[in-house]
């Protein structure tokens, strides 16, 4: 354990986060294995996962996907059109504003949700194995603050470029 502690002292936070992110992408319990349908691209699978998880808690719109994945409106429009043509989502008009279209998973998509939730639970359990709850809470708070800090830095840089 001393060797690991020494390594950690020398490592930058960004490197540790990158290594964890890389391992999570390689994880056999990722979204690609839950959504085995070959008619969707990897990006469409990620969007579908987002739609399936977020629609449990709130109404979703195209703007939410643009913000979550930091992609342009035209890109999201193309992704959603294909997902709709493959029968995974439908777009419903909203009474208060006919221009708004709520994104709703279809029954075909709903069949996938339990697999995704199961894989998330397995991954979370493994990630948190042997870590006391108070440390998990501190870690989440710390990572969220780091996210906020780097987002703020990026916004400042974008303003300079304008």
pLDDT, tens digit, for every residue of 124-155?
A: 999 999 999 999 999 999 999 999 999 899 88
pLDDT per position as a tens digit, 71-82:
999 999 999 999
pLDDT per position as a tens digit, 89-127:
999 988 888 788 899 999 999 998 898 888 888 889 999
Q: CA 14, 140, 25: angle at the middle one, nearest 5?
A: 55
Contact, 95 vs 106, CB < 8 A? no
The better pLDDT of the pair 80, 162 is held by: 80
What does the pLDDT read at residue 11?
A: 87
SS3 140: helix
Would you tell me the crossing angle of helices 42-54 and 113-128 to the nearest 10 degrees? 90
* Half-sphere CA count of 119, side-chain side, radius 13 A: 18
CA 31 from chain centre, in angstroms, equals 10
């Amino acid at each position: 354990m001393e060797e690991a502690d020494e390594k950690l002292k020398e490592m930058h936070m960004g490197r540790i986060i990158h290594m964890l992110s890389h391992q999570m992408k390689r994880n056999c319990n990722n979204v690609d294995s839950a959504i085995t349908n070959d008619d969707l691209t990897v990006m469409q699978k990620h969007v579908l996962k987002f739609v399936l998880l977020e629609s449990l808690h709130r109404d979703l719109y195209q703007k939410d996907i643009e913000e979550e994945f930091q992609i342009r409106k035209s890109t999201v429009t193309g992704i959603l059109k294909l997902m709709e043509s493959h029968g995974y989502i439908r777009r419903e008009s909203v009474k208060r504003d006919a221009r708004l279209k709520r994104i709703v998973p279809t029954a075909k998509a709903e069949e996938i949700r339990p697999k995704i939730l199961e894989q998330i639970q397995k991954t979370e359990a493994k990630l948190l194995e042997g870590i006391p709850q108070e440390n998990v809470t501190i870690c989440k708070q710390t990572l969220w603050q780091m996210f906020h800090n780097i987002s703020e830095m990026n916004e400042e840089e974008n303003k300079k470029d304008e």
